[in-house]
Amino acid sequence: MQEYGNPLLLRRALDHGVRVVVAHCASMGEDRDLDRGPQGAMTDNFELFARLMDTPRYVGKLYGDIAAMTQINRAGPALARVIERGDWQGRLLNGSDYPLPGVMPLYSVDYLVTLGFIERAAAPVLIELRRHNPLLFDFVAKRHLRSRGRGFDASVFETRKFFSRGA
């Protein structure tokens, strides 16, 4: 457990108006459910992140970064949920975690196909693209992701507005 890695600890900053981007949508690890007290049950960090995302007063303040969510150790139920949650799409931001998409053991197109996130027909092109340009591969692979017929909205990849001064 990382002492300060609990997503619920972000509430203080959020309540003071700070915009927060949660790396990888807190898609790994677990922490205490502090809403149940200092000895609350250990809970999946993604579930704690989801609780914050579902808190109306954090709309416009809390965002999730999808970088690395397609890594072998992260792809799964959390990735499916961020893809499927239409109400979160405007609060998700694409990141690449470059150069990691070029590190072969960390990302597997075949694994994403096996999980049903990517169509088998797209796999050969993505694999070849990865060999030549890992950053472009990461972008194109995420644009191909599907869960229950839904993919990421275009807004997830249009991050300029978020990072522009005064946004």
Confidence of residue 3 (pLDDT cuts 50, 70, 90): confident
Listed as own residue / partner, the contacts of 96-105 with beta carbons closer than 8 Å and 24 or more positions apart are 96/67, 96/135, 96/138, 96/139, 97/67, 97/68, 97/71, 97/138, 98/134, 98/135, 98/138, 99/134, 100/68, 100/71, 101/130, 101/134, 101/135, 101/137, 101/138, 102/130, 102/134, 102/137, 105/72
pTM for the full model?
0.94
Confidence of residue 166 (pLDDT cuts 50, 70, 90): low
Residue range 15-26, pLDDT digits in tens? 999 999 999 999
Residue range 143-152, pLDDT digits in tens? 999 999 999 9
CB atoms under 10 Å from CB of 79, counted, come to 24
d(CA 34, CA 108): 35
Residue range 45-89, pLDDT digits in tens? 999 999 999 999 999 999 999 999 999 999 999 999 999 999 999
Residue range 113-126, pLDDT digits in tens? 999 999 999 999 99
Question: What pLDDT is recorded for position 167?
Answer: 56
Question: What pLDDT is recorded for position 104?
Answer: 81
Exposure string of 24-49, with b = 16+ CB inside 10 Å and e = fewer, is bbbbbebbbbbeeeeeeeebbbbebb
> Mean of the pLDDT values across residues 95-100?
91
